[in-house]
Amino acid sequence: MRLELSGITKAFPACIANDHVNFNVEAGEIHALLGENGAGKSTLVKMIYGIMQPDEGEILWEGQSVTIENPGMARKLGIGMVFQHFSLFESMTVLENVALGINEKGPLKELAKRIVEVSDKYGLPLDPERYIHTLSVGERQRVEIVRCLLQDPSLIIMDEPTSVLTPQEVDKLFVTLRRLREEGRSILYISHKLDEIKALCDRATILRAGKVVGDCDPSKESARSMAQLMVGEEIKIPARNPNAKVGEDRLVVENLSMSTDDVFVADLENVSFTVKSGEIFGVAGVAGNGQNNLLSMLSGERLSPNDEAIRMDGLSVGHLGPHKRRKLGLAFVPEERLGHGTVPEMSLADNTLLSGHGVSDLVQMGFLRFSKAHNLAKKIIEAFDVRTGGSKSEAKSLSGGNLQKFIIGRELLKSPKLLIVAQPTWGVDAGAAASIHQALMNLRDEGCAILVVSQDLDELFAITDRMAVISHGRLSPARPTHDTTVEQVGLLMGGLFDQVDAWDEEAQR
Amino acid sequence: MIRFEPRLAPSRVMVYGAPILAVCFTLVAGAMLFSALGYDPLNSLYLFFIQPISDSYGLTELFLKATPLTLCAVGLAVGFRGNVWNIGAEGQLTMGAIVSGAIAVTWYDSTSMFLLPIMIIAGVLGGMAWAAIPAFLKTRFHANEILTSLMLTYVATLFLGYLVNGPLRNPEGFNFPESRMFGDAALLPLLFDESRLHIGALITLFVVLLGWFIMSRTLIGFQVKVVGLTPLAANYAGFNPKKVIWMSLMLGGGLAGLAGMFEVAGPIGQLQPVISPGYGFTAIIVAFLGRLHPIGILLAGTLVALSYLGGETVQMELSLPLAVTGVFQGMLLFFLLACDVLINYRVVLGFKRKAA
Amino acid sequence: MIGFEVETIIAILLGVARGATPLVFAAIGELITEKAGVLNLGVEGMMLVGAVGGFIAVVATGSPTVGFIAAMLAGALLSALFAVLVLFLHTNQVASGLALTIFGVGVSAFFGLKYIGTPIKGLQAIDIPGLSDIPIVGPLLFGHDIMVYAAFVLVAVTAWFLNKSRWGMILRAVGESHHAAHAIGYPVVLIRFCAILFGGAMCGLAGAYISLIYTPMWAENMTAGRGWIALALVVFATWKPGRALIGAYLFGGVTILQLNVQSLGLDVSGHLMNMLPYIATILVLVLISRDETKIRLNAPACLGKPFRADG
């Protein structure tokens, strides 16, 4: 047995992250650790990698009881880790990043040679002299994997490795992982994506609310049965109203471009699309391909250089700030819930003022009306089933899913004409995700135009009517969702815009 | 073994308890300092904190010193809330004194009742103008306001030195670096006979109430807070961070300028090379000690004013250096920052259970 | 124009080096601290404490070496206070740095009071017979006190440390992303603690240079804002040691210009001339800050952000 955990417990002041967790990983297997957001997966692997120490329980490595005090010691034992939010240093080179993340201290020149060797061997091409901030997300993951492999690990922990990749990149990653398994290495694969686990993993341990709730062979289980184990309740699939009617053009974006000197973000290049009332329009794409710029231009947080590039109901709004666009009926739910959509240290009531000032009676003649803000917050909490201590609770005290419900509720109660939502269910548990999806569909049926920007393809296929793909700041032509396949979207996410035409012609035929 | 464990929700008690705790720690540390220097600690603390305010004249002196501290701190606190770190209040105070003082000196024989109001407006504008420089450099060139506002303090002090040695020097003053004494019409009316406490103290009370109202009840105050806490959320709300930078620097500069005018038209009565024993800097401590809240600042300003009086008393009685004041003020701010940790953390004694 | 004596020019150039040296020490100290991701605004306070500590030690022992060591200890001790607040109690770095300066001003004035007016012997220039007698070049290259050379060595070592050594790489990594550094297994808090102590020691040294060599005496607030100028220099240098050295010598030049203006035959008020370094600092800051991207690319990404290991 390569790794065995018995009775691992870790408690934080607010919750018990792991409650007497037992499981084991054998040599040469890909073992899935499956669970919802907040189930305790990340905490568990942080303890295996020595970033945190368990309160109770024992870790056995190759049959020996060990205390893993820090990541350096984990690496010495032969444990490597590829992080979900990469542990890379943006303004440093690939070489420096690798040198920082391995135990041995040799001359950098030799290390550079070894990086090239290993990356060639596993088909993960890398240039040691490149700076991290010039690399794509997929390339950054390669740096992490190569860094990990240089240590010749016998166990590799991968925390949600596919959440930032295109479907084609995922396939390539799987080829590499299977090859590592053939070499006798074990992989602990953390994910909540069931089809991936079915395709790749030999065994799965399912975690719910910090406890192990099941063990299975993914190839023998259906995705549905694993999902039920993971979520613990029946999942509702959002209901579509077949009679909903698509109306007039609500948001028209025409040749929207922007460029900055900022090397950390992608520019936008001639983005054009239309969102009609009564439809949900999806924008798919891997993070960092210009979504943030597109969103900030649409919300008015960044002004468009060309006033006419963005039109709402025929009115040019490119030069209007967020406040004026809100007055025209725009509502916006940003990706970052804490620190963008809300002020973490302020109460929920105060947070209603953030998007409510000037478009409601919360502020009159420049004076704040606290009782009205509290009433509004209470109304949102009730209508959207937000679990919280009340309207005086600080935003940061809410769980991700509940805060997202609050923000979506806050924007929906304004009955917007146009709603722009980024990552509506990112990091949200399944129950909350389902209710958010249902709320969006209901709003669409009432005639609102909705733009959803998301990295989650399952989500986009489930709720959108039409979708387009953003890659390197360019947006593909839009397609009806029911005429689109995951493979097509994947090609576009990889920036293969030459094949867009093929797609177009095919669709027209 | 002492550990800090995060609290689930910030402690309401500690929000108000921390400053009190900090004052207690400062007293203990002060007692230790005095006894280390070979003085009876209790007697020294009595001389420092009680003796100065044991008669009515002492009390009026206390409020006289609290006036500029509170004025400056109320303005600075607005900026600190908005993440605008104006630490040049001393310079803005000096500029307010210079501009209003120049008017008083130019029309030294005027008896007009308009002289004083004009001086007040001039003082405010002088402070504002000086604060406008960092505001402009920050919004236009992204230059760090901490450094620019501080550099301008040195410039203002030197400019005052230049003026009292040159253009504004008293022609009948035997070449002393001082201006003429202001005429009666240029002096603030006193509140009590036999004291130096002037009408500016009442204006300060009014400013404190106004500051409280603006910060807690208006959209302006809300904007400042959001910009300071979470700039991204301010963007989302459509608040303009540049406006907040301008607003808080104008407010801070204006109030500091007013404080400078109060000093020269109050207890000093003329322009001198030094018109403030560091009120503008100490106001930073006052702002934090008062929790960046105008009412809290009023209390903190009074307490810190006491440290000036106490420093003077121990200088006279124990012949200790006046710098004791600075040591006390520094300690107070340190202890306050340290005690603030108790708002979000609680202290846990004992070892953490190790893995079996 | 008036013809200058060669001696005057040499004296002015020697003065430039003496004006620049304390700025080099303080700026390099702060640069290392900031590279680790910590903004310590207490430079002025640490310099003053170093100045008074070094001065008292020299009065007591007569040895400049002891004086400089005492100054470094004093500066490091004060910075340790800041480090505890910022690293363990997670206080706001801006406020804590301001507190450090206010406290340093008070403490140095308190302990220095007895020493106002006490004379000490300043450190002499090292005198290498033969070399420093070469006309013009001799005094310019070999006529300085030892600390001027030490400053150059410090800059070279710091540049090597940051760019070539493994520890320098780790230091940069901690300032770049404390979360990533923590995840890989580096002791973020310990590294920052060391960086802050080093910064404090260098600021102490800078202060001692002023009270022992630049003007061998003690006076309250004698650093006169040089700590703040050093902070500005770090920004001006875009966190590069070599550029900090150049910047410090530019400022040294401005300082000396102000002292020698009378000998240049200009009749300007001393008060107005004394404004020069402060106005120059503002101008330099404006020039360098105009380009936001440049600052963003060079500034340590975690500068001023608090780090908690939990979560």
- A250-274, pLDDT tens digit by residue? 999 999 988 776 655 668 889 999 9
d(CA B190, CA B212): 26
Q: Collect all residues of chain A within an 8 Å Cβ-Cβ radius of residue B219.
A: 357, 363, 366-368
Q: Does A365 touch chain B (CB under 8 A)?
A: no
Contact A156, A127 (CB under 8 A): no
Per-chain mean pLDDT for chain C: 88
Q: Which among B159, B331, B341 has CB closest to C103?
A: B331
d(CA A284, CA A158): 24
Mean per-residue pLDDT, A413-434: 88
Q: Is residue B223 part of a domain?
A: yes
Least confident of B264-278, C193-207, C250-264: C250-264
Mean per-residue pLDDT, A355-360: 85
Chain A, residues 63-92, CB within 8 A of chain C, namely: 70-72, 74-75, 83, 85-92
Side-chain half-sphere CA neighbours of B64 within 13 A: 24
Contact A107, C194 (CB under 8 A): no
In this complex, do B355 and A321 lie within 8 Å of one another by their Cβ atoms? no
Structure tokens at C53: 């500590």
How confident is the model at residue C35, as a pLDDT?
Answer: 96
Structure tokens at B120: 């007040």
Q: How confident is the model at residue B174 (pLDDT cuts 50, 70, 90)?
A: confident
Q: Is the pLDDT of residue B135 over 90?
A: yes
Q: Is the pLDDT of residue B3 over 90?
A: no
CB neighbourhood size of A426 (10 A):
18
Contact B268, B98 (CB under 8 A): no
| pLDDT tens by residue, A19-74 | 999 989 999 999 999 888 778 888 899 999 998 999 999 999 999 999 999 999 99
CA dihedral A59, A61, A65, A71 (to 10 degrees): -70
Q: What percent of chain A is predicted at pLDDT more than 70?
A: 93
Work out the minimum CA distance from A37 to partner chain C, whole angstroms: 14
Q: Is residue B99 part of a domain?
A: yes
Does the interface predicted TM-score (ipTM) exceed 0.85? yes
Q: Is C90 left (phi over 0), alpha (psi -120 to 50) or beta?
A: left
In this complex, do A321 and B238 lie within 8 Å of one another by their Cβ atoms? yes
Least confident of A475-479, B131-135, C47-51, C141-145: C141-145
pTM over 0.95: no
Based on the structure, what is the number of domains in chain B?
Answer: 1
Structure tokens at C245: 């050295």
Pure H helices in A55-193? 71-77, 94-100, 108-121, 137-149, 167-182
CB neighbourhood size of A69 (10 A):
11
CB neighbourhood size of B56 (10 A):
11
Q: Collect all residues of chain B within an 8 Å Cβ-Cβ radius of residue A67.
A: 355
Mean per-residue pLDDT, B109-118: 91
Short-list B121, B102, B86, B123, CA closest to B280: B86
Please give the C-alpha separations between residue C28 and each of C102, C201, C247, in angstroms, as whole numbers: 22, 11, 11
Mean per-residue pLDDT, B310-328: 85
Chain A, residues 273-302, CB within 8 A of chain B, namely: 296, 299-301
Structure tokens at B242: 């540049």
d(CA B211, CA B224): 13
CATH of domain A249-508: 3.40.50.300
Terminal C-alpha separation, chain B:
20
Per-chain mean pLDDT for chain A: 87
How confident is the model at residue C1, as a pLDDT?
Answer: 42
| pLDDT tens by residue, A376-420 | 999 999 998 888 888 888 898 888 888 999 999 999 999 999 999
Q: Is the pLDDT of residue C178 over 60?
A: yes
How confident is the model at residue C263, as a pLDDT?
Answer: 64
Q: Collect all residues of chain C within an 8 Å Cβ-Cβ radius of residue A92.
A: 169, 172-173, 176
More confident residue, A233 or A87: A87
How confident is the model at residue C265, as a pLDDT?
Answer: 65
Q: Collect all residues of chain C within an 8 Å Cβ-Cβ radius of residue B288.
A: 95
Mean per-residue pLDDT, B33-41: 87
Q: Is residue B148 part of a domain?
A: yes
Mean per-residue pLDDT, A329-342: 92
Q: Give the SS3 label for residue A476.
A: coil
Contact A77, A65 (CB under 8 A): no
Q: Is residue B59 part of a domain?
A: no
Q: Is residue B18 part of a domain?
A: no
Mean per-residue pLDDT, B170-187: 88
> Facing residues of A315 across strands?
A312
In this complex, do C173 and A89 lie within 8 Å of one another by their Cβ atoms? yes
Side-chain half-sphere CA neighbours of A438 within 13 A: 13
CB neighbourhood size of A432 (10 A):
23
How confident is the model at residue C211, as a pLDDT?
Answer: 94
Chain A, residues 379-438, CB within 8 A of chain B, namely: 394, 397
Residue with tokens 């090397």: A263
How confident is the model at residue B321, as a pLDDT?
Answer: 80
| pLDDT tens by residue, A87-130 | 899 889 999 999 998 888 888 889 999 999 998 888 888 899 99
Q: Is the pLDDT of residue B355 over 70?
A: no
Give the domain ranges of chain A: 3-231, 249-508
Q: Collect all residues of chain B within an 8 Å Cβ-Cβ radius of residue A296.
A: 235
Q: At what angle do helices C166-176 and C188-209 cross, to 10 degrees?
A: 100
More confident residue, B13 or B61: B61
How confident is the model at residue C92, as a pLDDT?
Answer: 85
Query: Chains A, C: CB contacts under 8 A, how many?
Result: 56
Q: Is residue B244 part of a domain?
A: yes
Work out the minimum CA distance from C238 to partner chain A, whole angstroms: 14
Phi, psi of C278 (to 5 degrees): -70, -45
Radius of gyration, CA atoms only, chain B: 22
Q: Is the pLDDT of residue B349 over 80?
A: no
More confident residue, C162 or A221: C162
CATH of domain A3-231: 3.40.50.300
Q: Is the pLDDT of residue A504 over 60?
A: no
How confident is the model at residue A262, as a pLDDT?
Answer: 60
CB neighbourhood size of A358 (10 A):
15
Mean per-residue pLDDT, B126-152: 95
Q: Which domain holds residue B291?
A: 71-295
* Domains within chain C, CATH numbers bracketed: 6-298 (1.10.3470)
